[in-house]
Chain A
Amino acid sequence: MRFLPVLIALLICLAPLPLVFGLKSATGNDAWINTAGPAWHDLTLVSQRFGRDDGFVIGVFADDVLAPTVLTWQAGFEQALAALPGVTRRTSLLTAQDVSVDDFGPSPMALLPASGVLSDNDRARVLEHPLYSGLLVARTGRASGILVDVAPELDQDALAALADRARALMRDQPPPGGVQALLGGLPVQKQAINDAVLADQQLTVPLSMAIHTLLLLILLRRPVLMAVPLFALAGSLAWSYATVALVGRPLDAILGLLPPLVMGVAVAVALHLVYGYAAQVAAGATRPLAATLRQVTVPLIIATLTTAISVGGLWWGPVEGVRRFAPFAAAGVVLGALAPFLWLWALRPFISTAACLQLHHGFTGVRIGQLMGRIAAACLRHRVVVLLTYAGLIGLSAWLLTRVQSDADFLAALPDGDPVRVAHERIDQDLTGILTLDLLIDLGHPVSDADLPALRQATELVRQDPTVAYVCSLANVADLVSNRLSAAKHPASDNLLADLRLGAKPAWQRFVARGLNGGNDHVVRIMARQHDTRVSVNTSAAMRLRDDVSKHFPGATVIVASPSRLLSETTERLLPSVALTLGLALPLIAVLLFIVLRSPRLGLTALVLAGLPLVFTYASLPVLGWSLDIGVAMIACIALGIIMDDSIHLTCAVARQGNDIGNDAGGAAAIAVGPVLFGATLAMSASFLACLFGQFAYTRHFGALLATVFIIGLVVNLTLAPALLAGFRRRP
């Protein structure tokens, strides 16, 4: 009969498994991109005028990419590539057009001779071509590129499917010996990031569970006691994933933050229950479960509510992916808090008095509580020193926080051998930049020959920038035509751009479009490619170039569009977004604490104790030389709730103390809840250090900082709380 509760609990925990196994992984991570900002708006302006430019890049590497064998293979491969659904255009040496001159003026002609055999002159013309060298072919002749444009309606799933087809094609039609073809481009990079994050989760979640198990064995020492947090953790994780599956959402990189959040809450709540139960048994309570619930339910409910509020507040954030995360996170917190109650109830008949006494009186029980109480008492005695130290640390942190930089270098964050990283590094080094950069100049009038000198200077300006691998504009096309007219001994055109518009329409349409507010041919485009490095570097270069180019076109409107700028803007908005949502949540939490604790001082103290560890952790970023990336920004939401949990338990413990403990309310509370706080911190910090085994750099940063924030949280709770609560007296 005593197995019945276990059976019920098992059934409840196993019930969501069919849903969990049906959970799908997302192929990209577009949801966290900020589509409401100016960067997205400017990218849209470019794609509306010149088409989508974020397709695939296939790098071809050989001793001589112009050799007939390579070109023959490429022709067959490109024919099959063009037939893939979703491919709208391919641009390569085989499709590129050069300019010749006839009676009508400039005339497009194939870049490569129809015979496929290149004379020395042809080779020199192609390798030094002002429009294609550094984009479609390297000057060395050892690399060439195939740019694949995709249909605008393709989403990330469709792009991933198309990438798979392209890879299959590369396997089915392999290049000849000595030739290497590598697939790159933004769509595959997004997919690679997502794959890396999911692969890390597949490693780090079980590893975290293993570390949890080991540490819980050390802390609790009895399998039956360990079973409460472990089963609670597994059950709440299963239900959290099932919630995602029920809604029909695929698991993306941001939803991948659910496991640490749920783990943290489940383990903390379970330890509070187990330690509380052991204490009640040790105290000889006749109904220890009921007594435990009376003691810990209120703080647990407050802690759960505050955590759910803090993560639920993300719903009002500006980034869609983060907004989507909020309800699942809040649900995960509630599930993580409920599961330990279920398992303590189910396993209670198996928990012996001896096990409880061993835990309560053992080195991880009262003894560690006493040690922590002594530390707290020491901090109380030296509270002036402690408060001054914290004041200094807060000042230092405030200064360091001004040095925190939002940035991302997704390529460097990918594992060393990742095929996309290899492809991008090779393409970037040997051929061209992966990331597009477009400067649109709205002249306010149709472009004419008179605009060419300024456009030429602006193009050269862009070319000089170290982040730029390739640049081309209408000025380059016009110069090419002028040279060809001169070489053919034709008289110089009296209206070169009119001739270009008439005779070389594809080139015209690549560089000229309608104005931002209408007007035919008002916009000219400087088309560039940037190296794939840190987004902040690329973005600041792009913004600087926009300002510099503007100086060449007084009165014109200049916009710059690049995926780097979009990523940078998104990353920069994450921290304010998190701060805003926490700012919304904190007043609610404060009100809740005030109502429950019935003491403004206790409520305020809990907020300070929960907030300071985050401040200190973020302030450590410049010291570590790390940037604020997406994962690091999200730490606040996960950690705040869990540290708040500790702070609430501590302040509730203070509130429970009678007035007979003199001045040391904090120290007494530390003795009471110290073992739980220590155990939970140890288990969670160590388990999140499992992230250090992740292949994706941001996973490692996330794990390391999350572990740090928990440790700092314990230290702050232990040392600052007694100082802040010195002389606390509950009003009669």
Chain B
Amino acid sequence: MKKLLVLLMLLAADMPLPGGDAPFRGVTLTDHLGHPHDLEKETAGRLVMLFAIESRVDGKAWDERLTAHLPADRQLVRVMDAGAIAEEDRPRLLERVTKALAGSSVVFVMDWQGVVRKQLGGTAEQAVIVAIDAQGMVSGRTSGLPTAANLTTALGFLGIVPLPPLTDEKPANPKTDPKRTP
């Protein structure tokens, strides 16, 4: 029985993503300001974070800790899964996002139809991080809480090794965490 479980786990690790290996091929979405984004182009060689309003707190923590280690030209692509938001609540969500991001250069790509969720899978309660290579293919995927291990894994997808190594001993704080590692 145990062997079977191990086998199933190994198979699951190698399972393809729901939408295939090039999840953003032909996908264009608008951000919270209404600007279109060709995700196939914009995600190449980057980490993409898919989160929903339910997982925004974890998403924010991922964002803060990953951004501290990502080079300026390979910034995190943030996709907000809004597929489950009712029609009448969408203006309010946009208003909230706009207000929250006012004064920063950060944009949220809004996935109103759940297109990205279909490609990347996962649930609204957890942020999903995927790494996209230069060919637009998924080169790595992780999810869950932004623990040191998960963060190190995600950065590792882009060949980034945080120094000093990340720990869980203290809460994430972008002001005190080391700025960037080469």
Interface residues of chain A, those whose CB is within 8 Å of chain B, are 100, 102-105, 107-109, 495, 498-499, 501-503, 505, 520
B residues less than 8 Å from A499 (CB atoms):
92
Complex formed: what's the CA distance from A108 to B85 in Å? Answer: 17
Q: Would you list the 10 A-B pairs with minimal beta carbon distance, nearest first?
A: A103-B100, A104-B96, A502-B89, A498-B92, A107-B57, A502-B92, A502-B93, A104-B56, A505-B54, A503-B53
B2 within 8 A of A: no
B86 within 8 A of A: yes
Q: How far is the CB of B124 from chain A (nearest CB, A)?
A: 8
Smallest Cβ-Cβ distance to B84: which chain A residue:
A505
Q: How far is the CB of B161 from chain A (nearest CB, A)?
A: 27
B99 within 8 A of A: yes
B56 in contact with A107 (CB, 8 Å): yes
Can you list, as one digit per residue, whether each of B88-125 has a CB less than 8 Å from chain A (1) or not (0)?
01001100110110000000000000000000000000
A residues less than 8 Å from B96 (CB atoms):
103-105, 502
Interface positions of B from 39 to 73, Cβ below 8 Å from A: 53-54, 56-57, 60
Interface residues of chain B, those whose CB is within 8 Å of chain A, are 53-54, 56-57, 60, 85-86, 89, 92-93, 96-97, 99-100
With contact pairs A104-B96, A502-B93, A502-B96 given, residues A520 and B86 touching in the complex (Cβ less than 8 Å): yes
Complex formed: what's the CA distance from A520 to B87 in Å? Answer: 12
Q: How far is the CB of B79 from chain A (nearest CB, A)?
A: 16
B residues less than 8 Å from A502 (CB atoms):
53, 85, 89, 92-93, 96
A498 in contact with B54 (CB, 8 Å): no
B residues less than 8 Å from A108 (CB atoms):
54, 57
Which residue, B54, B97, B99, has most C-beta atoms of chain A within 10 A?
B54
A residues less than 8 Å from B92 (CB atoms):
495, 498-499, 502
Q: How far is the CB of B49 from chain A (nearest CB, A)?
A: 16
Which residue, A102, A104, A107, has most C-beta atoms of chain B within 10 A?
A104
B residues less than 8 Å from A102 (CB atoms):
56-57, 60, 100
Smallest Cβ-Cβ distance to B89: which chain A residue:
A502
Complex formed: what's the CA distance from A103 to B92 in Å? Answer: 12
A residues less than 8 Å from B89 (CB atoms):
498, 501-502
Can you list 28 pairs linking A and B with CB atoms under 8 Å apart? A100-B57, A102-B56, A102-B57, A102-B60, A103-B99, A104-B53, A104-B56, A104-B93, A104-B96, A104-B97, A104-B100, A105-B96, A107-B56, A107-B57, A108-B54, A108-B57, A109-B57, A495-B92, A498-B89, A498-B92, A501-B86, A502-B53, A502-B85, A502-B92, A502-B96, A503-B53, A505-B53, A505-B54
Complex formed: what's the CA distance from A260 to B86 in Å? Answer: 62
Q: A498-B89, A499-B92, A502-B92 are in contact. List 7 more A-B contacts (CB 8 A).
A: A102-B56, A102-B60, A103-B96, A104-B97, A501-B86, A502-B89, A505-B54
A residues less than 8 Å from B93 (CB atoms):
104, 502
Complex formed: what's the CA distance from A495 to B96 in Å? Answer: 12
Complex formed: what's the CA distance from A108 to B54 in Å? Answer: 8
A residues less than 8 Å from B86 (CB atoms):
501, 520
Smallest Cβ-Cβ distance to A506: which chain B residue:
B54
Complex formed: what's the CA distance from A499 to B91 in Å? Answer: 12
Q: How far is the CB of A660 from chain B (nearest CB, A)?
A: 90
B residues less than 8 Å from A100 (CB atoms):
57
Smallest Cβ-Cβ distance to A499: which chain B residue:
B92
Q: How far is the CB of A89 from chain B (nearest CB, A)?
A: 13
Q: How far is the CB of A351 from chain B (nearest CB, A)?
A: 68
Smallest Cβ-Cβ distance to A520: which chain B residue:
B86
B residues less than 8 Å from A503 (CB atoms):
53
B residues less than 8 Å from A505 (CB atoms):
53-54
Smallest Cβ-Cβ distance to A501: which chain B residue:
B89
A residues less than 8 Å from B99 (CB atoms):
103
Complex formed: what's the CA distance from A399 to B97 in Å? Answer: 72
A residues less than 8 Å from B53 (CB atoms):
104, 502-503, 505
Q: How far is the CB of B33 from chain A (nearest CB, A)?
A: 16
Smallest Cβ-Cβ distance to A495: which chain B residue:
B92
Complex formed: what's the CA distance from A108 to B100 in Å? Answer: 17
Complex formed: what's the CA distance from A520 to B86 in Å? Answer: 10
Q: How far is the CB of B58 from chain A (nearest CB, A)?
A: 11
B residues less than 8 Å from A501 (CB atoms):
86, 89
Complex formed: what's the CA distance from A501 to B86 in Å? Answer: 10
Complex formed: what's the CA distance from A105 to B93 in Å? Answer: 10
Smallest Cβ-Cβ distance to A110: which chain B residue:
B57
B residues less than 8 Å from A104 (CB atoms):
53, 56, 93, 96-97, 100
Complex formed: what's the CA distance from A108 to B56 in Å? Answer: 10
B residues less than 8 Å from A107 (CB atoms):
56-57
A residues less than 8 Å from B60 (CB atoms):
102
Q: How far is the CB of B24 from chain A (nearest CB, A)?
A: 26
B residues less than 8 Å from A495 (CB atoms):
92
Complex formed: what's the CA distance from A705 to B86 in Å? Answer: 61
Smallest Cβ-Cβ distance to B60: which chain A residue:
A102
A residues less than 8 Å from B100 (CB atoms):
102-104
Q: How far is the CB of B112 from chain A (nearest CB, A)?
A: 14
Q: How far is the CB of B56 from chain A (nearest CB, A)?
A: 6
Q: How far is the CB of B52 from chain A (nearest CB, A)?
A: 9
Complex formed: what's the CA distance from A107 to B56 in Å? Answer: 9
Smallest Cβ-Cβ distance to A100: which chain B residue:
B57
A residues less than 8 Å from B85 (CB atoms):
502
Complex formed: what's the CA distance from A654 to B44 in Å? Answer: 106
Smallest Cβ-Cβ distance to A494: which chain B residue:
B92
Complex formed: what's the CA distance from A715 to B4 in Å? Answer: 76
Complex formed: what's the CA distance from A102 to B99 in Å? Answer: 11
Smallest Cβ-Cβ distance to A503: which chain B residue:
B53
Smallest Cβ-Cβ distance to B54: which chain A residue:
A505
Complex formed: what's the CA distance from A502 to B60 in Å? Answer: 17
Complex formed: what's the CA distance from A103 to B63 in Å? Answer: 15
Q: How far is the CB of A481 from chain B (nearest CB, A)?
A: 14
B residues less than 8 Å from A498 (CB atoms):
89, 92
Which residue, A102, A103, A501, has most C-beta atoms of chain B within 10 A?
A103
B residues less than 8 Å from A105 (CB atoms):
96
Complex formed: what's the CA distance from A503 to B93 in Å? Answer: 9
Complex formed: what's the CA distance from A107 to B51 in Å? Answer: 14
Complex formed: what's the CA distance from A100 to B57 in Å? Answer: 10
Complex formed: what's the CA distance from A163 to B91 in Å? Answer: 47
Complex formed: what's the CA distance from A100 to B53 in Å? Answer: 14
Complex formed: what's the CA distance from A103 to B86 in Å? Answer: 20
Smallest Cβ-Cβ distance to B145: which chain A residue:
A114
Q: How far is the CB of A661 from chain B (nearest CB, A)?
A: 86
Q: How far is the CB of A622 from chain B (nearest CB, A)?
A: 56
B residues less than 8 Å from A109 (CB atoms):
57
Smallest Cβ-Cβ distance to B57: which chain A residue:
A107
A residues less than 8 Å from B97 (CB atoms):
104
Complex formed: what's the CA distance from A107 to B60 in Å? Answer: 12
Complex formed: what's the CA distance from A441 to B21 in Å? Answer: 49
Complex formed: what's the CA distance from A501 to B54 in Å? Answer: 11
Q: How far is the CB of B97 from chain A (nearest CB, A)?
A: 8
Q: How far is the CB of B71 from chain A (nearest CB, A)?
A: 26
Complex formed: what's the CA distance from A464 to B102 in Å? Answer: 46
Complex formed: what's the CA distance from A96 to B96 in Å? Answer: 26
Complex formed: what's the CA distance from A505 to B57 in Å? Answer: 14
A residues less than 8 Å from B54 (CB atoms):
108, 505
Smallest Cβ-Cβ distance to B102: which chain A residue:
A103
Complex formed: what's the CA distance from A495 to B100 in Å? Answer: 17
Complex formed: what's the CA distance from A678 to B144 in Å? Answer: 80
Q: How far is the CB of B99 from chain A (nearest CB, A)?
A: 6
Complex formed: what's the CA distance from A359 to B54 in Å? Answer: 87
Complex formed: what's the CA distance from A292 to B54 in Å? Answer: 85
